[in-house]
Amino acid sequence: MLKKSALSSLLTLSLASSLMAESYVYVGASKTYLMDEQSTTTFSIGYGFSKVFSNCVMAGFSTSYHQGDYEDSSASDSSWFNGIGVDFHLGYSPTKPLALYGIAGYQMQAISSSTSAGGFGYGAGVSYKFFEHVALALEYRTYDMEVPSLNYNYDYDTMDALIRFVW
């Protein structure tokens, strides 16, 4: 999985350079609901790029890594999950610092080292550049996750607050 992530990041970097797009790295915290509406806080880091065209249409791509804990009634201690996500953004930027966008993506998760899940999702976001190289983004996403080994599906909903460092 690490090789795929490194390859994806390298491909993203080269694509961003060729499009003359704004690149960014980000850190964030999320309020997350998963498996039977359990609520937890997750932390994420990621990389992405976006381009605003002359007609104010914004398009972008991002990859992320996130990690969190949750309570598992069948385990004696708390359980953890982590994952890697890929998101595509398409939206509108009415002014230079503001962007409103829809999100479509795919998320892969490892749950307590014994189970893996994956699923497609969608959402929406807004970002605002407070300074030339710093932006704040708020994003909501929901994914329909599937655990193939258990023939089990669950919803993964997340509300993210992200700080982006743009160059």
Amino acid at 56: C
Token pair for 36: 């039977």
Phi, psi of 74 (to 5 degrees): -90, -5
Q: Tell me the pLDDT tens digit for each residue of 41-87.
A: 999 999 999 999 999 999 999 999 999 987 766 655 667 889 999 99
Give me the domains of the chain, ranges plus CATH numbers.
2-166 (2.40.160.20)
d(CA 68, CA 43): 7
| pLDDT value for 79 | 79
CB 24 within 8 A of CB 34: no
pLDDT of residue 9: 59
pLDDT at 12: 58
Query: For the chain, which residues score pLDDT lower than 70?
Result: 1-19, 36-37, 72-78
Whole-number pLDDT of residue 33: 87
Looking at this protein, which amino acid is placed at residue 26? Answer: Y
